[in-house]
Structure formats: C-alpha cells, structure tokens
Amino acid sequence: MMDKLWPDASGALRDIARDGMLLAIGGFGLCGIPEALIAALRDTGVRDLTIASNNAGVDGWGLGLLLETRQIRKMISSYVGENAEFERQFLHGELEVEFAPQGTLAERMRAGGAGIPGFYTRTGVGTVVAEGKMQMEFDGEPYILERGIRADLALVKAWKADRHGNLIYRRTARNFNPLAASCGKVTIAEAEIIVEPGELDPDEIHTPGIFVQRVVHNPTPERRIERKTTRKE
C-alpha cells in the first residue's frame, strides 16, 4: 500500500485530471518543471484549468504546451515575460491572469499547505495588487490580505524519490516545488532517480512522502535552456 510508483505519467493522471481544476505546478522558468506530467496533462484534453505557477513556460515547452491547446483558463503567476502565446491570449482577452508578487505566491502555496486560509503582507500595498483585497493596519502600517492556495492537484519535479514518495530536489530546481507539493490535495511527483525505501537519508529529504500520493519515473529529462546569452570574444 505504501508503493506510490506508477508506470507512467499518463496513467498517474488518468483518473484524477478533470475540467476546471486548480493546479499548483512547480518550477522556475524551465528549471525544475515536471515536464513529463505537463505533457501528459495536455494529452488528457482537460480544459478550463486554473494554474498557479511562478511563470507560464515558453512557447512550445512547459506550460506553453497547455497554452497552445487552450486548456488554461486562468494563470496565477508572478512572471510571464518569456511566452509570446501567453501575451497574445492575454492581450486578446482569451486568458485570465492574476499577478502575484513572487514571494507572495510562494507564501500563498506554503500557507495553503499548512492549513492557513490567509495572511497579511505589506507587499503590494498601494498598487494594483491590492485592488479588491481586505486591508488592515498593524503597528501603524497597512497590510493586505492574501489567500492561501489549496490546489486540487499539484505537479512537481524531484531529482530523487523513493517508492514511499519522499522527495529530494537538486539545487535551484528546488524553487517552488516543495511549496507546490505541500498545497495539493493530491500531489504527483516525477523524479529522475527512483530508489527503494530506506535508501534516502532522512536528513536530506525536502518533501516527506506524506504530501505525495503518486510518483512517476522520468530518467531522461530534456533540460532545455530558457534563454542562452553569450558574449563576443
């Protein structure tokens, strides 16, 4: 019963994905994105998705795949500047966007995973971010209320996982993944390396298996580069 390893990403999503879901998806740019799970989600054909993720991938990769197929209704993001299709849909009123400051978005996921429905922050006070949000004063300073995110489904990318769902992320690929993993009612992780229970050092585990319901193996990720900058010799 503790073996959470599934044969592939498509099988892991088949009985879970549905129209209108709220998803939390890990990654920063193209670093640490659950690419196999995103592609499998596209292939399910589910629509009207709301996705909380730091960004929306790039054209033709990552969440850009779901934008191309018009499966995303709304994005909750902090940065969306690398995707021309995102820009086109947004400017034509085809895509709803809720911008969240990066730290606020991270805390919204963390709060949701901790069972905290909302919190106050000074970030965004006096800007469009504060529009329509409750405001309170603490110690003479204004704060706005932000809601925690509790996603129907979280998709995350780990470097190493065991069959019990314990996860280790690698370096900067850690980014939003632990936060997204904690806030999902159901969390599916893809990992490059799968080991047997007991092989991971408990002190090195970033996401305990209690947060993860399913694991899929993706040993050969593409590791695409979002933007390459070179200098002239």
Give one DSSP letter per residue of 45-99, joined into a string: T--SEEEE-S---BTTBTTHHHHHTT-EEEEEES--TT-HHHHHHHHTT-SEEEE
pLDDT tens over the chain, length 233 residues: 589 999 999 999 999 999 999 999 999 989 999 999 999 999 999 999 999 999 998 989 999 999 999 999 999 999 888 889 999 999 999 999 999 999 999 999 999 999 999 999 999 999 999 999 999 999 999 999 999 999 999 999 999 999 999 999 999 999 999 999 999 999 999 999 999 999 999 999 999 999 999 999 999 888 777 777 888 87
User: Is the residue at 11 inside a domain?
Assistant: yes
Nearest to 34 by CA among 207, 230, 210, 205: 207
| Per-residue confidence (pLDDT) for residue 1, from 0 to 100 | 56
User: Is the residue at 41 inside a domain?
Assistant: yes
| Per-residue confidence (pLDDT) for residue 111, from 0 to 100 | 98
pTM (2 d.p.):
0.94
Identify the three-state secondary structure at position 5.
strand
| Per-residue confidence (pLDDT) for residue 77, from 0 to 100 | 95
User: Is the residue at 72 inside a domain?
Assistant: yes
Q: Residues 6 or more apart from 232 whose CB is under 8 A from it?
A: none
User: Is the residue at 211 inside a domain?
Assistant: yes
Answer for the pair 188, 153: CB distance below 8 angstroms, yes or no: yes
User: Is the residue at 165 inside a domain?
Assistant: yes
CA 203/CA 15 separation, integer angstroms:
34
CATH at residue 90: 3.40.1080.10
The tally of domains found in the chain comes to 1
User: Is the residue at 169 inside a domain?
Assistant: yes
- DSSP β-ladder status, 118-121 and 141-147: antiparallel
Please give the residue range of the domain that contains residue 163.
5-115+149-217
CA 223/CA 39 separation, integer angstroms:
14
| Per-residue confidence (pLDDT) for residue 205, from 0 to 100 | 98
User: Is the residue at 222 inside a domain?
Assistant: no
Q: What is the dihedral of CA 37, 40, 46, 49, to 10 degrees?
A: 30
User: Is the residue at 191 inside a domain?
Assistant: yes
| Per-residue confidence (pLDDT) for residue 226, from 0 to 100 | 76
